[in-house]
């Protein structure tokens, strides 16, 4: 199977949209669309807790798996911004489908990092043929703490034998291949684990069994199950990388996968925003649409702003995989925390606009909202939960503080990373993925210089003020970071400071992405007078003040002219299918109700 070849991410995404909408055939009006047959099919599969097979088949036919495979192994996986956009596209139709399909990228990532040519070849062929690969890390009694994993691989007959249980694992039952983390040395040690590529078909019968699918709160059709090994013999060639390198490989692979998970949030947030925005325009309360009232407009505007901020953070993060590779230990933790968290906030606020329609499974847009809400709750949990990522970030506070004080920036890498939607970033040097970022975080550390340039150069009304205020807050956050004493078990305050730093990152990503894209996007409504970036900075600053427990920010000039144009634009875009975010893509039409 070969990947469909298209010029840009946007054209690819449009083709993917079409493929998904065709999965269920035309709607009653003959037109495919989110309110048409595909939306109903999603709802039905969810209600029946069935694997989203019709959609997954479309993704395979489209050639999406090729984007999980690096070019040197015959795939199309050269640009993670493209992959993020494709994932967002799928997720805005059906998050369950994306979680089910995207798992293969997660499962295979370690192979590209640590596998030899033969292992990579085998895996690439399997992925390109549409076979899922699972990533078996979690154990019943050990979720986040990989070091304490109890599943063992012991040397036997020139190979290994696996004993133990991996659960809960996405696609554990459906995937013919699994990358499995197993203990090969001392418990609790960083060098005590190794990673294995397990070919299920090669296992002797009776040495493994599938654990039943777990019923879950959301993503109800997805194969969340497990696998138990009992004396399962593996050939020596199943070992990925050297013995004892398993944890390091996983931590490096997580830098890619955690960053990409943010795209799931972008899709879920967009899907929900379109539903709620359409409803706000239609809903008549006291004889006028909600959209004609200031308070619902402010809600809708804030949600659009936070979604735009998530998008900037996620897309800058996805490009950073190529351009700021050595900083990904920081960037991946930031992006994996901030995008799901902002999106959960957005979903909660949109649910208030929708009222009973956020809760009923068959009343509005096929009850899509409540499904998005349930499905999305897993994003902040899997592949490293928000507390896990924050704890990881806290460990890097000293470097980040030093980097900010010194103003350390990889200027060339930064310029490439923030050029969202611009020229494709350079190839990924996988060896440059390191467990700690020596430089810190260029996106944040360049904020003072960026704020200065906005203050002196031409900028939309209010933006320089927002940038200066964000910079001041970011400096204060670094003071707090500097005061956190190193500890194996950091105090709650450290997690809160990490959360604030994430918002600073999102704000800096917005400013950079706006600055880099303003000429290319000239004339687009969201870019008019810097509408989206002012809205995003305002919303992020308010969240920062609440999180840091400081006084609410004073409005910047022009802040009173954000909500109405933004809410009206988003409501209109929900109707016409225009993009709802600054780096978004049009949505094929079909209506929502």
Q: Which of residues 385-424 bind another protein (CB under 8 A)?
A: 385-387, 391
The kind and range of the H/E element at 582 are none
- The stretch among 107-115, 374-382, 470-478, 564-572 that binds another protein (CB under 8 A) is 374-382
Query: Which one of 15, 31, 121, 148 is in contact with another protein (CB under 8 A)?
Result: 148
Q: Tell me how far, at minimum, the Cβ of 191 lies from another protein, in Å.
A: 17
Q: Which of residues 112-131 bind another protein (CB under 8 A)?
A: none
Cβ proximity of 316 and 443 under 8 Å: yes
Question: Nearer to another protein by C-beta: 214 or 524?
Answer: 214
β-pair type (177-183, 193-199): antiparallel
Q: Tell me how far, at minimum, the Cβ of 394 lies from another protein, in Å.
A: 10
The beta strands (E) that lie in 71-128 are given as: none
Query: Which one of 131, 209, 293, 575 is in contact with another protein (CB under 8 A)?
Result: 293
- Label residue 203 exposed, middle or buried (CB < 10 Å: 0-12, 13-18, 19+): middle
Q: How far apart are CA 401 and CA 49, in angstroms?
A: 47
- The 150-179 contact track toward another protein, x by CB under 8 A, reads ------------------x-----------
Count, residues near another protein per rule CB under 8 A: 64
Q: Which of residues 191-230 bind another protein (CB under 8 A)?
A: 214-218
44 part of the interface to another protein, by CB under 8 A: no
- The stretch among 122-130, 242-250, 369-377, 518-526 that binds another protein (CB under 8 A) is 369-377
Cβ proximity of 259 and 573 under 8 Å: no
Cβ proximity of 154 and 161 under 8 Å: yes
Q: How far apart are CA 579 and CA 316, in angstroms?
A: 18
Query: Which one of 1, 11, 71, 360 is in contact with another protein (CB under 8 A)?
Result: 360
Cβ proximity of 504 and 477 under 8 Å: yes
Query: Which one of 142, 521, 561, 575 is in contact with another protein (CB under 8 A)?
Result: 142
Q: How far apart are CA 136 and CA 496, in angstroms?
A: 30
- Label residue 552 exposed, middle or buried (CB < 10 Å: 0-12, 13-18, 19+): exposed
β-pair type (133-136, 152-156): unpaired
- The stretch among 10-18, 189-197, 489-497, 503-511 that binds another protein (CB under 8 A) is 489-497
Q: How far apart are CA 463 and CA 146, in angstroms?
A: 43
Q: Tell me how far, at minimum, the Cβ of 89 lies from another protein, in Å.
A: 25
| Residue 236, C-beta contacts closer than 8 angstroms, at least 6 positions apart | 158, 159, 160
14 part of the interface to another protein, by CB under 8 A: no
Question: Nearer to another protein by C-beta: 283 or 402?
Answer: 283
Cβ proximity of 536 and 312 under 8 Å: yes
CB count within 10 Å of CB 381 equals: 14
Q: Return the structure tokens found at 590.
A: 């079909």
Q: Return the structure tokens found at 583.
A: 């780096």
Query: Which one of 125, 141, 429, 479 is in contact with another protein (CB under 8 A)?
Result: 141
Query: Which one of 87, 373, 501, 514 is in contact with another protein (CB under 8 A)?
Result: 373
- The 302-341 contact track toward another protein, x by CB under 8 A, reads ----------------------------------------
Q: Three-state SS for 232?
A: strand
Question: Nearer to another protein by C-beta: 129 or 360?
Answer: 360
144 part of the interface to another protein, by CB under 8 A: yes
**Nearest-5° angle of CA 532, CA 537, CA 542?**
130
351 part of the interface to another protein, by CB under 8 A: yes
Q: Is the peptide bond before 168 cis (omega within 30 degrees of 0)?
A: yes
Cα distances from 457 to residues 71, 77, 407, 463, 526, in angstroms, run: 41, 38, 21, 11, 21
Question: Nearer to another protein by C-beta: 367 or 403?
Answer: 367
Question: Nearer to another protein by C-beta: 235 or 491?
Answer: 491
Query: Which one of 18, 295, 520, 593 is in contact with another protein (CB under 8 A)?
Result: 295
Q: Which of residues 534-573 bind another protein (CB under 8 A)?
A: 545-546, 549-552, 563
Q: Which spans of this chain sit near another protein (rule: CB under 8 A)? A: 138, 141-145, 147-148, 168, 188, 214-218, 284-287, 293-296, 298, 344, 348, 351-352, 355-356, 358-363, 367, 370-371, 373-374, 377-378, 380-382, 385-387, 391, 488-493, 495, 545-546, 549-552, 563
């Amino acid at each position: 199977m070969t990947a469909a070849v298209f010029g840009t991410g946007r054209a690819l995404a449009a083709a993917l949209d079409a493929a998904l909408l065709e999965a269920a055939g035309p709607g009653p009006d003959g037109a495919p669309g989110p309110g048409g047959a595909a939306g109903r099919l999603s709802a039905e599969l969810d209600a029946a807790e069935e694997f989203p097979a019709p959609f997954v088949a479309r993704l395979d036919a489209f050639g999406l798996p090729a984007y999980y495979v690096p070019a040197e192994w015959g795939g199309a996986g050269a640009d993670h911004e493209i992959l993020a956009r494709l994932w967002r596209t799928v997720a805005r139709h059906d998050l369950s489908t994306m979680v089910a399909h995207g798992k293969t990228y997660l499962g295979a990532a370690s192979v590209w990092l640590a596998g030899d040519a033969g292992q990579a070849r085998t895996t690439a062929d399997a992925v390109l043929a549409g076979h899922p690969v699972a990533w078996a890390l979690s154990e019943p009694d050990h979720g986040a703490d990989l070091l304490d994993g109890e599943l063992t691989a012991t040397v036997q007959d020139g190979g290994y034998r696996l004993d133990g249980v991996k659960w809960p694992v996405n696609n554990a039952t459906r995937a013919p291949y699994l990358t499995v983390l197993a203990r090969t040395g001392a418990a609790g040690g960083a060098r005590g684990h190794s990673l294995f590529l397990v070919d299920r078909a090669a296992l002797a019968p009776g040495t493994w069994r599938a654990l039943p699918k777990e019923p879950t709160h959301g993503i109800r059709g997805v194969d969340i199950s497990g696998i138990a090994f009992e004396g399962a013999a593996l050939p020596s060639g199943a070992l990925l990388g050297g013995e004892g390198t398993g944890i390091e490989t996983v931590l490096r692979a997580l830098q890619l996968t955690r960053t990409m998970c943010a795209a799931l949030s972008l899709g879920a947030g967009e899907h929900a925003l379109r539903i709620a925005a359409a409803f706000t325009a239609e809903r008549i309360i006291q004889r006028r649409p909600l959209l004609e009232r200031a308070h619902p407009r402010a809600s809708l505007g804030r949600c659009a702003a936070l979604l735009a901020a998530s998008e900037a953070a996620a897309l800058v993060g996805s490009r950073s995989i190529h351009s700021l590779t050595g900083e990904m230990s920081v960037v991946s933790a930031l992006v994996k925390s901030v995008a799901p968290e902002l999106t959960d906030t957005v979903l909660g606020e949109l649910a208030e606009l929708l009222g009973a329609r956020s809760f009923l499974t068959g009343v509005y847009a096929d009850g899509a909202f409540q499904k998005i809400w349930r499905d999305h709750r897993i994003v902040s949990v899997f592949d490293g939960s928000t507390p896990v990522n924050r704890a990881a970030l806290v460990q890097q506070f000293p470097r980040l503080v030093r980097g900010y004080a010194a103003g350390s920036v990889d200027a060339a890498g930064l310029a490439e990373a923030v050029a969202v939607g611009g020229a494709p970033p350079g190839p990924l040097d996988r060896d440059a993925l390191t467990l700690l970022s020596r430089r810190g975080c260029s996106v944040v550390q360049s904020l003072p210089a960026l704020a200065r340039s906005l203050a002196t150069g031409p900028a939309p009304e209010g933006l320089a003020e927002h940038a200066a205020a964000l910079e001041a807050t970011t400096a204060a956050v670094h003071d707090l970071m500097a005061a956190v004493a190193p500890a194996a078990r950091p105090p709650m305050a450290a997690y809160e400071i990490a959360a604030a730093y994430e918002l600073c990152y999102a704000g800096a990503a917005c400013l950079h992405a706006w600055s880099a894209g303003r000429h290319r996007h000239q004339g687009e409504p969201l870019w008019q007078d810097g509408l989206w970036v002012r809205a995003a900075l305002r919303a992020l600053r308010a969240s920062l003040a609440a999180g840091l427990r400081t006084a609410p920010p004073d409005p910047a000039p022009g802040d009173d002219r954000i909500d109405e144009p933004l809410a009206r634009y988003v409501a209109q875009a929900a109707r016409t299918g225009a993009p709802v975010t600054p780096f978004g893509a049009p949505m094929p039409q079909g209506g929502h109700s």
